[in-house]
Structure 1
Amino acid sequence: MRVRPVTRVGQYFALFLYLIFLAYPLLWLISLSLKGARELVSIHPSLIPEHIVWSNYVTALTDQGLVHSAFNSLVTSVGSTLIVIVIAVPAAYSLTRFRTGVRTVASIWILVSQVFPTILIIIPVFLILKQFSLLDSLTGLTLVYVVWTLPFALWMLMGYLGSVPVEVEEAAAVDGAGRLRIIISIVLPLLAPGIVATAMFAFISAWNEFFFALVLIQTTSTRTLSLTLAKYVGSEGMLQLGPLAAGSVLATVPSLIFFAFLQKRLTGGLLAGSVKG
């Protein structure tokens, strides 16, 4: 069905407006990070800075140890993402392909974990980590992120696996392929878009997480990026808006790089799945 030129123009115009809607908060944040102290308290602020000031970025990088905190967040985010993917992929395959009583229990666990308030479990988590000497450590925080992210990641992968035709696996089994060979050669390539999407979710969840880190991290050496950004709000409510905006802009860069890196594989996985399916 051929789309009329007027309809095509309207679609692109709507997409352009939607992109502006999504990008405007980020553009405003960048604008704040480039403004001086006097312009930040202006009664009539503008999107374009009158005078570009780079000192906010210098303060953000040197004042609160932003680089070290970003490295800590990167360690916990990448570590928890890898562990979640390694656990969730075989678990999702087992729950999807083998209809047992475990599937019902797992589904109930996933649903309950998503509606359970975080604040109710923070004290038990604190005591457990303290008992195993994992309190105030990146290892303990990574494990918490794994446990907290795994249910939804598992649910996502089960949905993707449900769309993979089981007839493809049956055809490979008829040709003599074993279960492991079927999973590696057939299921994983078709599941690539789901794995990429799940990895994005796990990484962003850990990268932006604040509450667990606030309670479980106690020293400066293990402080994550979200905790460092919170330091720009003083105890009396005094806000260092310029350095906070600059630090927030820098904090978005790793997420954008991670998304851009995986986006190619997401598209490639979709094309490969369409051909192999």
Structure 2
Amino acid sequence: MNRTRPLTRAGQYLALLAYLLFLGYPLLWLVSISLKGARELASIHPSLIPRSLVWDNYRIALTDQGLLRSALNSVLTSVGATVIVIVVSVPAAYALTRFRNGARTAATLWILISQVFPTILIVIPLFLLLKSFGLLDSLPGLTVVYVVWTLPFALWMLMGYMASVPQEVEEAAAVDGAGRFRVVFSVVLPLLTPGIVATAMFAFISAWNEFFFALVLISTTEKRTLALTLAKYVGSEGQLQLGPLAAGSVLATVPSLVFFLFLQKRLSGGLLAGAVKG
């Protein structure tokens, strides 16, 4: 047993390293392309390491296409949709998990049915609804669409996490004299922190990377999201601006990485913190 443990651990580290290389290699190529000039990009035998660093692609991405304004629009819609999804789905998941009745079955069917229909079938009804409410071609309207589209799966995720929280903990707090709201806020929510963080990551990334709804519902240049602006690097005649596109894509990954780094510590720390508070 003592001899096989180092071999097993070495195999685990090798598998983890291979997985990291598999995930990181496309990102390395993206950064490499963003630092190459047009002549080097047209080379028949491209190399991973640029021959000379060309920062002009980042200047073009930041100035010529309005990338910063589009990034701000994406931040507003993504963060807004994430906050609304969490605020709605947390109490809904608690009610559907703890109080078993007909509403749980109806909610489960709603979640499953909402994931069956393709996006193209619901975009026309959404277009007409937003137009009737005066929310067409607006960031609040796009945020509402992201909430509606993300909420079913987010609720499904939180119901799974909520079911893993033992009811005995709530019963013990109730025996000590805590009311329902005190039990939820002081016991359940700290224990549910990893699930809330994971659901928030899912909601944010889904809204941040979404393209189709924004393409149909947004027509004003100043209200474009980041995905729409990056698509503009493909010219009307199919001419691809590869360098600025890569530079813009690199910049577009920064908010997602910051959001993930800010929340990932709570994935592992939330459960322990909740256990201590409970």
Considering the TM-score relative to the shorter chain, is it more than 0.5? yes
Shift in Å, 1:7: 1.7
What is aligned with 1:53? 54
Q: Deviations over 1:236-266 (max 9, x none)?
A: 1100000000000000000000000001111
TM-score (norm 1): 0.98
Structure 1 segments unaligned to the other structure (5+ residues): none
What is aligned with 1:198? 199
What is aligned with 2:76? 75
What is aligned with 1:211? 212
What is aligned with 1:141? 142
- Once residues 94 and 79 of structure 2 are traced to their aligned partners in structure 1, the CA distance between those partners, rounded to angstroms, is 23
Please say which of residues 40-49 and 1-10 is displaced more in the overlay: 1-10
RMSD: 1.2
Shift in Å, 1:185: 0.3
SS in 1 for 2:72: helix
What is aligned with 1:250? 251
Q: Deviations over 1:39-95 (max 9, x none)?
A: 111111111111110000000000110000000000000000000000000000000
**Structure-to-structure mapping, 1:155-166, within 5 angstroms:** 155-166=156-167
**Structure-to-structure mapping, 1:43-192, within 5 angstroms:** 43-192=44-193
Shift in Å, 1:21: 0.4
What is aligned with 1:221? 222
User: What amino acid does structure 1 have at the position aligned with 2:107?
Assistant: A
- Once residues 151 and 100 of structure 1 are traced to their aligned partners in structure 2, the CA distance between those partners, rounded to angstroms, is 18
- Once residues 5 and 154 of structure 2 are traced to their aligned partners in structure 1, the CA distance between those partners, rounded to angstroms, is 41
- Once residues 95 and 220 of structure 1 are traced to their aligned partners in structure 2, the CA distance between those partners, rounded to angstroms, is 42
Check the 8 A contact 2:86/2:196 in 1, yes or no. yes
SS in 2 for 1:136: coil
Check the 8 A contact 2:186/2:277 in 1, yes or no. no
- Once residues 272 and 18 of structure 2 are traced to their aligned partners in structure 1, the CA distance between those partners, rounded to angstroms, is 28
Check the 8 A contact 2:190/2:271 in 1, yes or no. no
- Once residues 211 and 26 of structure 2 are traced to their aligned partners in structure 1, the CA distance between those partners, rounded to angstroms, is 20
SS in 2 for 1:35: coil
Name segments (4+ residues, structure 1) moved above 6 Å: none
Q: Deviations over 1:74-125 (max 9, x none)?
A: 0000000000000000000000000110100000000111121000010110
Taking only the aligned residue pairs, the percentage that are identical comes to 79
Check the 8 A contact 2:138/2:223 in 1, yes or no. yes
What is aligned with 1:264? 265
What is aligned with 2:231? 230
User: What amino acid does structure 2 have at the position aligned with 1:117?
Assistant: P
- Once residues 32 and 249 of structure 1 are traced to their aligned partners in structure 2, the CA distance between those partners, rounded to angstroms, is 10
What is aligned with 1:17? 18
What is aligned with 2:9? 8
